[in-house]
Structure 1
């Protein structure tokens, strides 16, 4: 499989996706047209136009999955698939209702490049259980595309000792997840991404890297350029009582 999984789609002082332009261009090299899946936001046309404006700069046409009565037909003929960010619960519910979970996962496993950002990166995981989003709708289950065997937490924020916020930190919430589920979680900080090519998995980005959480060890730090291929051998165990 060929995957590019971005923590975020916008960076301070940069245009949409511009911080990852080189990585995106390399990932989509040789592609003429991209199928964009806009269901994480309500404005499908506006979202697709935003993606198209960026992709035009690297010579790629964009078609929105929402423009077909049956988007599975577009998936079947897609050269590459990009699922954008927004609300992960709304996104997964939309994919389930349109029969796109199996359709997209099967196409990507057959060799079609996949790109995700934020919620679209959550979709590449076995489930959406490590999303940051509010459950504004209820999907049929939490099971997502399963293109990787571990979980990702996009937009990962380190604990701030000086913060006046009294709720759980991201670290505490991921620790709670690991109390119920035996599966690693990679916290992707802003400006970072993962690139999978077959059995190779590399951390990329322009920022401070990622933090790996596991149930039996202290969190581990990784810098951009780190080889994380060992995570592809993960054998996950989830609490079967929830999705």
Structure 2
């Protein structure tokens, strides 16, 4: 397995060559598909989804690679998005996944295991294709949990177990930082003796040249439009930078500085 090289050709040559095209970038990065107190799958973010996709999109290409049962996952997403007025094509249902990405109006990458998701994306040669469609063509990208991890610099800040081995941890780099979905604040009353999520992120930042990590609480989302980024949803986020105190941002906060 390759080690993440933040100065390697994937991150530097590609990302900076498309810097002038970020005005096309349109991302909705969900921490989770479910939120305690909200009814049903994607129940907490229906308005966000319809506002994000708008009327220009009628069909969404869904990527279920992060879970084992592609058909069941796609059916769940199809039923929910149909309620919102959108048709869904499962990428695994189509003969040519690469062509499906090239022709998609919008893409939704679902949650599950980030390692399985990234490996399968590389297996089907879809990483470069999705990156190009989003950054060059302005194709809307929705990620949830693992799909949100996929949109960042790497999957190094996922909560998942490495059940398979992708060729690299480098991901789509649609944004120049990492995200930790399902972020949970330390509970001072907890009797749990293992590391907190915050400690895990601090471990990641013990090594040089690591980007910031945005801890997205469940019920939060990051909306990115061009060079603007705003937190959405009923909860906020916590930002971690190497050798700095963590900073809390409430819903509605402008965090566009993360895109610089």
How does the TM-score come out when normalised to structure 2?
Answer: 0.88
Runs (4+) of structure 1 moved beyond 4 Å? none
Question: SS at 1:218's partner residue?
Answer: coil
Aligned-pair CA distance for 1:160? 1.1
Alignment partner of 1:54 out of 80, 83, 92: 80
Alpha-carbon separation, structure 2, partners of 1:137 and 1:16: 27
Of 13-22 and 184-193, more deviation after overlay is shown by: 13-22
- Cα distance between partner residues in 2 of 1:164 and 1:95: 39
Shift of 1:162: 1.6
* SS at structure 1 position matched to 2:205: helix
* Residue aligning to 1:27: 52
Once residues 170 and 52 of structure 1 are traced to their aligned partners in structure 2, the CA distance between those partners, rounded to angstroms, is 32
Of 168, 180, 200 in structure 2, the residue corresponding to residue 173 of structure 1 is 200
1:80 aligns with 2:91: no
Q: Note if 1:164 corresponds to 2:188.
A: no
CA RMSD after TM alignment: 0.8
Query: Gapped runs of 5+ residues in structure 1?
Result: 234-243
Aligned counterparts of 2:36 and 2:230: Cα–Cα separation in 1? 24
Distance 2:59 2:163 in 1: 32
Following TM superposition, by how much is the alpha carbon of 1:92 offset from its aligned partner in structure 2, in angstroms? 0.4
2:257 match: secondary structure = helix
Q: Gapped runs of 5+ residues in structure 2?
A: 1-24
Residue 139 in structure 1 maps to residue 163 in structure 2: no
The equivalent of 2:17 in structure 1 is none
- How far apart are residue 70 of structure 1 and its match? 2.3
CA shift at 1:69, angstroms?
3.1
**Which residue pairs with 2:120 in the alignment?**
94
**Matched pairs, number:** 232
Match of 2:217 among 171, 185, 189: 189
Could you tell me how far apart the structure 1 residues matched to 2:241 and 2:45 are? 28
| 1:2 alignment partner in structure 2 | 26
In the TM superposition, what is the alpha-carbon distance from 1:166 to its structure 2 partner? 1.0
| Residues 105-156 of structure 1, C-alpha deviations (whole Å, 9 max, x = no match) | 1111120000000000000001000000000101000011110000100000
| Contact 1:70–1:98 under 8 Å retained in 2 | no
